[in-house]
Homo-oligomer: A and B are copies of this chain.
Amino acid sequence: MTIKDIAKESGFAVGTVSRVMNNHPDVSEQTREKVMKVVNKYGFVLNVNAKRLKMQERKTIVIIVKGTSSILLNSLLERVLNKIGSSPYNASVIFVDEYDNEAAKAKTIYYEEKPIAFIFLGGSPDWYKDDFGVIAVPSVIISSQADNIESENLSSVSTDDVASSKAMAELLIKSGHTKIGVIGGDLKTSEMTRKRYKGFLQAIEEAGLDFDEGRGYITAKYSMEGGFNAAEKILRYNEGVTAIFTMADVVAMGAIRKLADMGLSVPRDISVTGYDGLITSEYSCPRLATVQQPLDDLVEKGFALLTSCIEKKGRAEHILVPCNITKGESIKTI
């Protein structure tokens, strides 16, 4: 069933049918009706491949999500899809593996699909240095900073990891904690981890506290399992710690679970902080002290930036949005 068949059956030419299908104004109401009757009769839909080939269509925004298992990224994705749904563009979602190079993947897609723009959800700006060069369409990284990449096309909207992390550490310090352990990501590979660590260290330093970078920092995967395994090490290597600063809510939850297994109650025996502000953090027992990622704001600003780059040829920008600290119930004042 092609436009040709519709033309034949309705008695008009293909050009006319095409005009009807695309709602062109220069076709008589009578003709439109006749054609539509045949179209509806067969439930005919235009062949998108032919259409796209012909139109060199560029209406698709490709969303590249780093890993499917992150609750945070899925929340962002949900919002982004909503945004795109009520825009003239359409979305194509690609999931790349946790440890894959998403910029290289984007490059392939860039050539193959010729999207009008890219949205990256999560991801490591480090990749982009090498691979982003050829991508000549507006792109935005949401939730990771990319101000160290000098590309005319790549924007980023993120929270200020250093400042937020520092604020959370300060809350811990203000609550009387002086011996704090940290469970974070891999400092070698994750820029985000480095930033959050930096903020933490700034707070420690400004408060004049001690921190043993060798023993006080435990590297873990950003997962419940990661937090679970790391919690024990924190206690073993750091006698007298009264608080654990983690770099993700999931890590905090894993840690809290492990502590409970060790007979330690949060916050009675030890305090724990999270990061991200997942919905779960509001319902966990205890409610988590966490850095609230402003998801709506992030997506709102990111999408606005992207469309401005697409339509008005605006320049790429790097925006930082502020975070709120949620105190929760997982910090004890001592």
Contact = CB atoms under 8 A, between A and B. Distances in A.
A262 interface: no
A254 interface: yes
A279 B224 contact: yes
A129 to B, nearest CB: 18
A288 to B, nearest CB: 12
Instruction: State the main secondary structure of chain A at its contact with B.
Output: helix
A53 interface: yes
Interface stretch (A40-48, A147-155, A163-171, A172-180): A40-48
Contacts of A254: 283
B74 A78 contact: no
Contacts of A253: 280, 283-284
A334 interface: no
A46 to B, nearest CB: 8
Contacts of A108: 45
A189 interface: no
Contacts of A81: 68, 95
Nearest to A63: B93
Interface string A77-101: 1100100000000001101000000
A89 to B, nearest CB: 15
| Identical copies in the complex | 2
B48 A112 contact: yes
Nearest to A266: B285
Contact of A45 (B43, B78, B111): B111
A48 B113 contact: yes
A52 interface: yes
Contacts of A134: 43
A133 B50 CA distance: 26
A260 interface: yes
B283 A257 contact: yes
Chain B CB within 10 Å — which of A46, A113, A280 has the most? Answer: A280
Interface of A: 43-50, 52-53, 57, 68-69, 71, 74-75, 77-78, 81, 92-93, 95, 107-108, 111-113, 134, 224, 228, 253-254, 256-257, 260, 279-280, 282-285, 287
24 contacts: A43-B107, A43-B111, A44-B111, A45-B112, A47-B53, A48-B112, A49-B57, A53-B53, A68-B74, A68-B77, A68-B78, A68-B81, A69-B78, A77-B95, A81-B95, A224-B283, A253-B283, A253-B284, A257-B283, A257-B284, A257-B285, A257-B287, A284-B284, A284-B285
Given A49-B49, A253-B284, A257-B287, 9 more contacts: A43-B111, A49-B50, A53-B53, A71-B71, A74-B74, A81-B95, A93-B93, A93-B95, A285-B285
